[in-house]
Structure 1
Amino acid sequence: MTPAEKLQNLLDAPAFKRWFSTANFSENGVSFPTQFMANWVHSYFSSQLFVAFGFEPEISVYKRPAAPVIKNKDNVIQLDFWEDNKRGCANSLLRAALFPPLPRGKRQFLKNVKLESVGAADIIFTGEQFDQTDLDVYLEILNFARPFPLGTPVSFSARAMLKALGKGNGGGLHKWLHSVMIRLRGGTLDITDKKNRYFGGLVKEGVLEEATEFYTIIIDTNFAKLFGFGMWSKIDIEERRALKGASSGIAKALHAYYSTHAAPSLHSYETLSKILGLSSVDRQTKARMIEAHKKLEKIGFLHNFEAKENGIRVSKKESRAQRKHLVDKWVEADKKRRKKAAT
């Protein structure tokens, strides 16, 4: 028997499918698509692997192909297109006032409210307002779900989630985390790009084993349609974590929004205010926006920015995919110019 077959006999079927269905077995060990999975298996399945291999095997990470949505022959959908130091999210969510930088204690319950947005998708929201801390948790949920086909129950401990968020492990934080999970599950989005329409939650359902404090979360497979509406973007998680202090909520929201653009044009203060879910564009609000852009410049996300009387123009570093998009866009425009000149 091969080590994989021996391991399959040692584990129950759900555990083997969850943690080893995407693994690559070799003579010397086993590799996984993410560092998180490799670390988890090393922590919880080392003894079983030793029995299966007959020695202590190497546990490593293999390089995954970059693809926004992967479908196999069984039409299984898996979102697995970002690196370990990035987080992925649908542009349609980041280009709307879905996760505004709300002041503490200022959440409202919205009913069938059309959110301000930039782009092709419209979002109508019902539920308790999300904010940037909810986006932090949501990005980590997607990251935990990354190695598995959508619809597969994804398990993680509350402690692992809090650690991923850079937080402690106190009882108050566990209560806070559960309140975020309930809020993400309760909020209903009705999203359309005039071609497809998705209505449901960011989280389909979840279970908390209170004795072990383990969450099992399921994301609706129809959620993948969001990644086809307005494309998707990667967020540099280290940059996002570096945004702290005054105006950090606005800075995080802008960081997420600008991450969906290869080369942002000048944005008026009014447009930025709408995206951020801010109620006014007074002098103080403009000052907070400018301060937030300074933070983005300081962490290296922006090369520079220019605050003008009518808005803010930014120059940001582009990802490889964004550079390719800009080149393709220029090539297509050049073809049209040449064709027009020839006629």
Structure 2
Amino acid sequence: MTPRKPSRLIPTALFGDDKSVDGDDAARVALRETPLDIATRLQKAAEERQAAMLEPARSVRRLQIPLWSDGHRPVLHDLVRSALFTCGQRDAREDFKAKPIYALEHIKITYTGEELRQRDYDVYLQILHLSRGATVDDRQEWVEFDARALVKLLGWTQNSRSLVELRETIRRLTACALEVTRARTKQSLAVVYGGPLLLKYAGAQEGSFDEVTFWKVQINTEVASQLRPGDYTRIDWHTRAQLSPLEKWLHAFYSTNQQPYPMKVETIHKLCGSRMAEIKFFRRALKAALSRLVDVGFLGNWEIDDTDKVKVTRSQMITIAEVAGDYLT
């Protein structure tokens, strides 16, 4: 008896299956298919592969920047509960490389770039304000503005020096890189995002080399997408415009909590990025800033107790106004 030869296993990609079949069975299947059937099947397989390759391009993530009233600006809790935008003013800016930024314990920030300050944050908030309600996506869209109009909104002096400062600030917001990790509880899944605050920019200039009078910039939507309910607060822009750098930091920080918990002076000193070496001098500046926030109606009262903890009470009038501002949008 002549032993039967083992059947040859033939891959059946040509037959619309991902298994292997016996060679004799494959031959019988092939005999039943006409050349037109084979051509049709191969064409269909090619179209499916092409569709799979194009799928990522079609799944563009679109994001709508939230709306807020004209008198408000959005502060992201992760950024203002840290020393990312310092209260520095006259000292030379530091250059950082993957520097850990002091923040509340559920937030971790590393930063690379030139030191950012409250005036830089003012510019960033204004650019976000110009993009409110816009729908952007991963391909990025430009935010366009007149430089002199933005300088006016910022309350800066209308001169060429302000145009130069605006240019330097836009460059700084583009050349930086931050990474933020946030976990609300030890059990919750951490959220990680980052990159520069602005992705790129272009401008048109007139007059001297540095006097750019028209700008268009692209915001980093990975950062802007964190502007979700519970993760950002609308602050009163008119109030912020009246304040010094330390007062601005305190205003943004305490805006994120209607019932702030007591915090040591030393902790606030680190959180606001103050460079005052002597804590007693910072305590004096802090007292003046808190009194100023009472004068403008943001705080109801404040005190520093025997344990050197700062206790503040938000103004009920401001709290109601902020809630009303939400409904105005």
- TM-score by shorter chain over 0.5: yes
The match for 2:109 is 123
Alpha-carbon separation, structure 1, partners of 2:133 and 2:227? 16
User: SS where residue 204 of structure 1 aligns?
Assistant: strand
Identity of aligned residues (%): 29
CA contact (8 A) 1:92 1:229 kept: no
RCO higher in 1 or 2 (8 Å CA, sep ≥ 6)?
A: 2
Structure 1 position 229, deviation (Å): 9.8
Distance 1:228 1:197, change over 3 A: farther
The match for 2:298 is 301
Question: Which structure: greater strand fraction?
Answer: 2
Alpha-carbon separation, structure 1, partners of 2:256 and 2:203? 33
The match for 2:77 is 91
Alpha-carbon separation, structure 2, partners of 1:103 and 1:167? 15
CA contact (8 A) 1:95 1:119 kept: no
Choose from 167, 175, 195 the match for 1:178. 167
The match for 1:264 is 260
CA contact (8 A) 1:121 1:230 kept: no
CA contact (8 A) 2:65 2:225 kept: no
User: SS where residue 217 of structure 1 aligns?
Assistant: strand
The match for 1:313 is 311
Alpha-carbon separation, structure 1, partners of 2:61 and 2:176? 28
Structure 1 position 228, deviation (Å): 4.7
TM-score normalised to structure 2 length: 0.70
Alpha-carbon separation, structure 2, partners of 1:272 and 1:323? 26
Residue 250 (structure 2) pairs with residue 250 (structure 1): no
The superposition leaves residues 272-324 of structure 1 with CA deviations (integer Å, 9 ceiling, x where unpaired) of: 11111124452111000010000000000001111223221000035359889
Root-mean-square deviation (CA, aligned residues, Å) is 2.3
Structure 1 position 170, deviation (Å): 1.2
Alpha-carbon separation, structure 2, partners of 1:154 and 1:282? 42
CA contact (8 A) 1:306 1:314 kept: yes
Structure 1 position 89, deviation (Å): 2.0
User: SS where residue 226 of structure 1 aligns?
Assistant: coil
Distance 1:96 1:215, change over 3 A: same
Counterparts of 1:1-343 in structure 2 under 5 Å?
76-118=62-104, 120-150=106-136, 151-193=140-182, 195-211=190-206, 213-228=213-228, 231-243=231-243, 248-279=244-275, 280=277, 282-309=279-306, 310-317=308-315, 319-320=319-320
CA contact (8 A) 2:249 2:272 kept: yes
Distance 1:263 1:161, change over 3 A: same
CA contact (8 A) 1:121 1:229 kept: no
Structure 1 position 180, deviation (Å): 0.6
Alpha-carbon separation, structure 2, partners of 1:305 and 1:135? 26
Q: How many residues align?
A: 248
User: SS where residue 70 of structure 2 aligns?
Assistant: coil
